[in-house]
């Protein structure tokens, strides 16, 4: 019998007019039938998960959805960033078509950022758009990738370059799912938590520094606050700029360098959050070189990233021309304009700006970061 949740639930609302939706944050939500009440009426649901998450949570989500749908199907994808591809996306379409799913079918993304991104892209594309729900099971997905409607797959030449803006109907963040998260994945998710402080809320950065050990120890109260405050900041930004025409780009702090690391090393060699963590320090260092922050700020962020169990020394991508390789990869970044790389930089603590920087200066930062 599926459970009904009577536990404390916090909500964060994404205000986007007729595309508005709610993020639910709490414990025991994945098992609770009422977590999924009130969604668009449909006879069929399709759960998309992966080979790591499905054995842990797929049967439980099926049971929670059973009161709401006559049929609950599932498709299990291979796990990892290396599989965020057309081939994996087609496995979702294959399942939808094989089960004769109609345009009212609701998709449920059960997993981390890769599953969420691919499920959202499939939902945006199947029959020109069907509803979907995010059920994120990682810190990274709960605080960032499940919120805001960015969906995509990777291309060998660039990360998340093929996709669509498509909002979910709901995001259900069950904090209990974080208990089974491997330590490396936990650290990777904390990179996306840390980024919110320098770009928007220095008081939150102070809180993270004070509570980083509690977060690493998975203390429920600390995780609940980190997820809620991260979602609040992202909700505010997305509500003002859904399609990243301006303000929303600040959420990519650390990502220009980070995406270059992922693409240059091969997707999956470093986790996304590991690359972003290192990218945060590189972007802060570039900010300092441009006179926007002082060295003490860079060192403060470097220490915090290190305490979160994340790398702070950038990898060498090309022994012959390392800076050239980084720059070439960063020119494919979605923020680039007419070949000019745009970086999210810290324009004083708690404020972010998107701007370019001289290639020579960027090359100096890359060289310094690779031998830090």
Q: Which residues are catalytic?
A: 128, 150, 192, 234, 244, 248, 252, 255, 259, 272
Could you list the beta-strand ranges (E) of the chain.
Answer: 9-14, 21-26, 44-50, 71-77, 106-111, 132-136, 150-155, 158-165, 170-174, 343-346, 352-355
Query: In the chain, what is the straight-line distance between the N-terminal and C-terminal CA atoms, in Å?
Result: 55
List Cβ neighbours of 210 (8 Å cut-off, separation of 6 or more). Answer: none
Give the number of other CB atoms < 10 A from CB of residue 240. 11
On whether the CB atoms of residues 249 and 354 are closer than 8 A, the answer is yes
On whether the CB atoms of residues 309 and 300 are closer than 8 A, the answer is no
Q: Half-sphere exposure of 93 toward its Cβ, with a 13 Å CA cutoff? A: 14
Instruction: Tell me the C-alpha distance between 121 and 165, whole Å.
Output: 8
List Cβ neighbours of 288 (8 Å cut-off, separation of 6 or more). Answer: 294, 295, 297, 298
Exposure string for 56-91, b = 16+ CB within 10 A, e = fewer: ebbebbbbbbeebbeebbbbbbebbbebbbeebbeb
Give the number of other CB atoms < 10 A from CB of residue 128. 7
């Amino acid at each position: 019998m599926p459970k009904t949740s009577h536990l404390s639930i916090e909500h964060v609302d994404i205000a986007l007019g007729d595309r508005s939706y709610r993020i639910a944050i709490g414990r025991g939500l994945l098992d609770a039938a009422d977590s999924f009440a009130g969604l668009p009426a449909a006879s069929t649901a399709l759960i998309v998960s992966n080979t790591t998450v499905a054995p842990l949570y797929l049967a439980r989500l099926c049971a929670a959805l059973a009161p709401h749908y006559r049929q609950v199907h599932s498709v299990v994808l291979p796990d990892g960033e290396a599989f965020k591809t057309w081939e994996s996306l087609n496995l979702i379409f294959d399942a939808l078509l094989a089960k004769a799913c109609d345009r009212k079918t609701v998709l449920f993304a059960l997993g981390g950022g890769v599953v969420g991104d691919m499920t959202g892209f499939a939902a945006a594309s199947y029959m020109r758009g069907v509803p979907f729900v995010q059920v994120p099971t990682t810190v990274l997905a709960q605080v960032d990738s499940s919120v805001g409607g960015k969906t995509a797959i990777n291309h060998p030449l660039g990360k998340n370059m093929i996709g669509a803006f498509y909002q979910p109907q709901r995001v259900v963040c069950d904090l209990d799912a974080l208990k089974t998260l491997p330590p490396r994945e936990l650290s990777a998710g904390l990179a996306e938590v840390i980024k919110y402080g320098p770009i928007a809320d220095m008081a939150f950065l102070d809180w993270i520094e004070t509570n980083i050990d509690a977060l690493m120890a998975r203390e429920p109260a600390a995780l609940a606050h980190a997820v809620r405050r991260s979602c609040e900041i992202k909700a505010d930004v997305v509500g003002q700029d859904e399609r990243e025409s301006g303000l929303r780009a600040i959420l990519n702090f650390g990502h220009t360098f980070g995406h270059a690391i992922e693409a240059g090393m091969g997707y999956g060699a470093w986790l996304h959050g590991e690359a972003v963590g290192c990218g945060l320090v590189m972007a802060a260092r570039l900010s300092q070189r441009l006179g926007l922050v002082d060295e003490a700020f860079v060192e403060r962020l470097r220490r915090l990233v290190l305490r979160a169990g994340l790398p702070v020394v950038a990898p060498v991508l090309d022994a012959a021309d390392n800076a050239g390789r980084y720059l070439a990869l960063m020119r494919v970044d979605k923020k680039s304009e007419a070949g000019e790389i745009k970086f999210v930089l810290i324009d004083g603590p708690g404020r972010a700006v998107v701007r370019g920087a001289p290639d020579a200066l960027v090359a100096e930062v890359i060289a310094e970061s690779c031998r830090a």
